């Protein structure tokens, strides 16, 4: 467990530890011995230029890809993620850039998509719509998500509201780790501020966040620490209190040599 400064409490393992993970696709070596640690209860940024290996690493963490080598530890125990379901069973959820929302469904239906509550007895079980609607309102209220009505159709919502619904869904089911892939890339200033506030609220609620972002200002505002990947390798690890946006950009581009293995 990490304290408010992002430092791990003595004697406890990090939530996720990646050791020497490799992954190749034919002749392309996407990951070449990546080392990375995600402390529990913190916001950790994953940075790197296009092709640095960020997406491949996220897919390894979510069970989409299996690493060719190395190991992934969860709370100190080595794990094998053979599918996204394996990751979900550990409380790991991901908010991808396309959000994965069904636009013609209502908010509550998206929150419970593929996890619908039922009532009654087999074989006469029916959807418990009343309970799902009530639970959805509570979920959004607890996260202070600005959605006018859980019965609203997603298609009629703003970009920020859609993003908030996707994050709320991941936060509700992702009890340990929520991975966010460029969560504000297509949003305006006001909507971006709302999503960043939601990230802070997740952290306050004890949910660990892995944030993939190209926005250095955003990273400096919301993250506790950052890991930089370059050409499939770990280039550096920095605490936000000890770095600047300019240094992070330099580490990403290679203008600053970095400290592989940090």
The predicted structure's pLDDT at residue 10: 47
The predicted structure's pLDDT at residue 260: 57
> Tens digit of pLDDT for each residue in 91-142?
998 888 777 899 999 999 999 988 889 988 877 789 999 999 999 999 888 8
Task: Decide if pLDDT at 22 tops 80.
Answer: yes
Higher-scoring residue by pLDDT: 222, 183: 222
> Tens digit of pLDDT for each residue in 182-213?
888 777 888 788 888 888 988 988 899 999 98
**CB-based contacts of 215, cutoff 8 Å, min separation 6:** 184, 185
Task: Decide if pLDDT at 21 tops 90.
Answer: yes
The predicted structure's pLDDT at residue 232: 94
Q: What is the mean pLDDT of residues 175-179?
A: 90
Q: Tell me the pLDDT of the chain averaged across its residues.
A: 88
Threshold 0.75, pTM exceeds: yes
Task: Decide if pLDDT at 261 tops 50.
Answer: no
User: What is the DSSP code (8-state) at residue 154?
Assistant: G
The predicted structure's pLDDT at residue 53: 93
- The CA–CA distances, whole Å, from 186 to 28, 166, 216 equal 30, 14, 15
* H helical segments located in 117-244: 129-142, 159-173, 189-204, 216-222
CA distance 85 to 63: 7
> Tens digit of pLDDT for each residue in 51-79?
899 999 999 999 999 999 999 999 999 99
- What percentage of the chain carries pLDDT values higher than 90? 55
Domains contained in the chain, CATH given: 16-98+159-253 (3.40.50.300)
Task: Decide if pLDDT at 9 tops 60.
Answer: no
Tell which residue, 206, 167, 166, 216, has the closest CA to residue 42: 206
Q: In this predicted structure, which of 17-31, 35-49, 121-135, 185-199 has the lowest mean pLDDT?
A: 185-199
Task: Decide if pLDDT at 262 tops 50.
Answer: no
**CB-based contacts of 106, cutoff 8 Å, min separation 6:** 150, 151, 152, 153, 154
**CB-based contacts of 165, cutoff 8 Å, min separation 6:** 101, 107, 110, 111, 140, 145, 147, 154, 157
């Amino acid at each position: 467990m990490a304290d408010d400064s992002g430092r791990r409490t003595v004697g406890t393992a990090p939530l996720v530890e990646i050791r020497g993970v490799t992954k190749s696709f034919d002749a392309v070596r996407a990951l070449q011995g990546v080392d990375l640690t995600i402390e529990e209860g913190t916001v950790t940024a994953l940075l790197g230029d296009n092709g640095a290996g960020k997406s491949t690493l996220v897919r390894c963490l979510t069970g989409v890809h299996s690493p060719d080598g190395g190991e992934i530890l969860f709370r100190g125990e080595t794990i094998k993620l053979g599918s996204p379901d394996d990751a979900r069973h550990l409380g790991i959820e991901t908010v991808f850039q396309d959000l994965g929302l069904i636009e013609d469904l209502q908010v509550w239906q998206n929150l419970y998509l593929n996890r619908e509550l039922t009532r009654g007895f087999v074989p006469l079980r029916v959807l418990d719509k009343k309970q799902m609607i009530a639970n959805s309102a509570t979920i959004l209220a607890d996260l202070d998500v600005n959605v006018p009505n859980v019965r609203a159709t997603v298609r009629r919502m703003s970009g920020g509201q859609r993003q908030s619904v996707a994050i709320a869904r991941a936060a509700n089911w992702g009890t340990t780790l929520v991975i966010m892939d460029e969560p504000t890339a297509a949003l305006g200033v006001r909507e971006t501020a709302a999503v960043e506030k939601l990230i802070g609220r997740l952290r306050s609620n004890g949910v660990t966040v892995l944030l993939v972002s190209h926005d250095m200002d955003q990273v400096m505002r919301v993250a506790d620490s950052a890991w930089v990947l370059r050409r499939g390798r770990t280039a550096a690890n920095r605490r936000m209190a000890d770095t600047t946006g300019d240094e992070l950009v330099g580490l990403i581009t290679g203008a600053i040599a970095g400290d592989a293995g940090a």
